[in-house]
């Protein structure tokens, strides 16, 4: 028996070994013949249900990045 591999990327898409056929809530079918398909988990993608990396622009900055930014703001 062959299993489909699915990988969930932290703060990113779900990677599914393709090809895939996806049934949307309205009953329509979306098909991709790629060998690995990135499915959007954040629903920000303009090509939903596929990922367009929109999640990257909305990431919360880490405490280190916030501290570095605060230091930059106080200089000069």
User: Could you report the per-residue pLDDT of 41-71, keeping only the tens digit for each?
Assistant: 999 999 999 999 998 886 555 565 555 555 5
Residue 1 maps to a domain:
no
Q: Which among 30, 28, 58 is positioned nearest to 43, based on CA atoms? A: 58
Q: Per-residue pLDDT for 27 more than 50?
A: yes
Residue 47 maps to a domain:
yes
Number of domains comprising the chain = 1
Residue 17 maps to a domain:
yes
| Close Cβ partners of 75 (under 8 Å, ≥ 6 residues apart) | none
Residue 51 maps to a domain:
yes
Domain span at residue 50 reads 6-74
Residue 35 maps to a domain:
yes
What does the pLDDT average to over 26-34?
Answer: 96
């Amino acid at each position: 028996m062959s299993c489909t591999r699915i990988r969930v990327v932290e703060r990113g898409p779900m990677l599914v070994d393709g090809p895939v056929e996806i049934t949307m809530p309205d009953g329509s079918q979306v098909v991709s013949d790629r060998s690995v398909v990135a499915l959007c988990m954040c629903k920000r993608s303009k090509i939903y249900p596929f990922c367009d990396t929109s999640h990257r622009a909305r990431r919360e900055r880490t405490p280190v990045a916030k501290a570095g930014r605060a230091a930059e703001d106080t200089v000069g």
